[in-house]
Structure 1
Amino acid sequence: MKKRVKFLNTYVDALTMAETLTQIEEYIINKKCVQHVVINAGKINLMQKDAELTKVINECPLINADGQSIVWGSKFLGNKLPERVAGIDIFTELVKLSAEKGYKPYFFGATDKVVKKVVDKFKGMYPDLKVAGYRNGYFDKEESIKIAEDINKSGADILFVAFSSPMKEYWIKDNMDIMKVPFAMGVGGSFDVVAGKTNRAPRWMQKSGLEWFYRFIQEPRRMFKRYIGGNMKFIKLILKSK
């Protein structure tokens, strides 16, 4: 049975990547219709001023530590987590698992060009991959129900939603009853990374908790408030909680 620990005003499941994938596959096999979420420093900051987002996240049956800051912060507050389980790594591992087990993923988000490139790349990597469908992430609010119905009709086992937070968390929550997808997760900018539009940090930076810094040095002016200001705010929350 998975262990869930308290972290500030939310929770995080103390799972490794392997344990997370086993849990997700159980949801898919049992057709549980589960919304998944990952948390990082930025999302924790958003949750301090968004009670509805906090409610949505805390109701998710599976919450992973996407950022190394969550692992460090949790340990500092007395709850040790086994490792960071990044959303983009869960995403790519689930695509691989889908090809091996015959699960059908649906890709939703980014531009037409990017999402098609993502699908083509994964099909090239995994010829046996059965894609339930895909579409871009640009739509009017009135189209949401039709999109959710189309996802339902596709027979998808897994849904990847590439929006920013908190839009992806809200959209999945609001449309889960219509889609009836066994497992749905938000993947943020992961489509852009897979498509080669943006670069991910080298492995050593990922493991040392510096992935945010790699993103920052690529666009320092645009990312200053998000990463420098945001990280300081997160540290203050941790110290206050301590």
Structure 2
Amino acid sequence: MKNLVVKQEKRLSLNDRINILGTSIDVLNNKDTISLVEKYVITKTPLHLMGVNADKINSANHNKLLHEIVNKCGIINADGASVVLASKFLGKPLPERVAGIDLMQDLVRLSAKKNYSVFLLGAKKDIVEATAKALKNKYKKLNIVGIHDGYFEEKEWDKIADLLLSKKPDFVFVGITSPIKEYLIEYLQNRGLNSVFMGVGGSFDVISGKIPRAPKWMQKANLEWLFRVSCEPKRLFKRYFLGNTEFIKNVIKEKF
């Protein structure tokens, strides 16, 4: 891993923050998040837009570098129903879950409306190409200035940085596995990119049509995680069932 210098990001809002198991989280809903993110775009202020769920909080508590990167971000959203429930149990309630895939599509919609430029980075070549096509079909005026798959080695990070510096996108949506995703974003920011970087997990797979999204009733019932596990049990069982058990145990410990 390249030697990363983790720099504290500038916060453009004095909104409240809470702390759950050592991770800071902004008390923001989806609408307020979008308004705040646009301030970063307008002022060309670099931003790592972070979404945390139980798995990310667990991982940060086992990974010092990841913990440092998460907590220095200018905006940190609760992207997990378990995090919102934990906040209420701990007596410092968050307003709602800010789902990463919904936030991404809201920011894409904003970009099409305001002519902000977008770069898609991650997933397999055919998936990121299909994602770009699907977004362009939905938003005719969307300015996608570039795409690149997520299958490259650390020694190629310089080339990725040079590509992004030449394109100067307002938004870079990154669909790469954690914690490499967070390390890469930190590296790219250190190269002087003033973009809004957002890790989007498996959003490219959903938008491209490779995998379905949970039905609306499951989303509203906070059961989207269960649908994801049913679609990819081998990959996600440990993360959600064992990870959530660890998270719940630690939240109860923090409470009492």
Which bin holds the TM-score, normalised by the shorter protein?
over 0.9
**Is residue 2:131 matched to residue 1:114?**
no
Q: Which runs of 5+ in 1 are unaligned?
A: none
Q: TM-score, normalised by structure 2?
A: 0.92
AA aligned to 1:95 is V
Match of 1:214 among 197, 221, 227: 227
**Is residue 2:54 matched to residue 1:41?**
yes
Q: Give the SS at the match of 1:131.
A: strand
Residue in 2 that maps onto 1:201: 214
Query: Map of 1:85-234 to 2, 5 A cutoff?
Result: 85-178=98-191, 180-234=193-247
Conserved? CA contact 1:151–1:179, under 8 Å: no
Deviation of 1:90 (Å): 1.0
Residue in 2 that maps onto 1:70: 83
Number of aligned residues: 242
Conserved? CA contact 1:152–1:181, under 8 Å: no
**Is residue 2:18 matched to residue 1:23?**
no
Whole-angstrom distance in 2 between the partners of 1:124 and 1:235: 42
Q: Which runs of 5+ in 2 are unaligned?
A: 1-13
Provide closer, same or farther for how the CA distance between residues 221 and 106 of structure 1 changes in structure 2, counting only shifts above 3 A: closer
Whole-angstrom distance in 2 between the partners of 1:55 and 1:212: 26
Deviation of 1:152 (Å): 1.2
AA aligned to 1:125 is K
CA RMSD, 1 decimal: 1.1
AA aligned to 2:106 is E
Q: Give the SS at the match of 2:191.
A: helix
Whole-angstrom distance in 2 between the partners of 1:15 and 1:223: 27
Conserved? CA contact 2:29–2:96, under 8 Å: yes
Deviation of 1:48 (Å): 1.8
Whole-angstrom distance in 2 between the partners of 1:134 and 1:146: 13
Conserved? CA contact 1:96–1:126, under 8 Å: yes
Deviation of 1:109 (Å): 0.3
Residue in 1 that maps onto 2:70: 57
Between the aligned residues of both structures, percent identity stands at 43
Conserved? CA contact 1:5–1:14, under 8 Å: yes
Conserved? CA contact 1:37–1:186, under 8 Å: yes
Conserved? CA contact 2:118–2:145, under 8 Å: yes
Whole-angstrom distance in 2 between the partners of 1:202 and 1:91: 18
Deviation of 1:211 (Å): 0.9
Conserved? CA contact 1:42–1:230, under 8 Å: yes
CA deviation vs aligned residue, 1:99-123 (integer Å, no higher than 9, x gap): 0000001000011101011111111
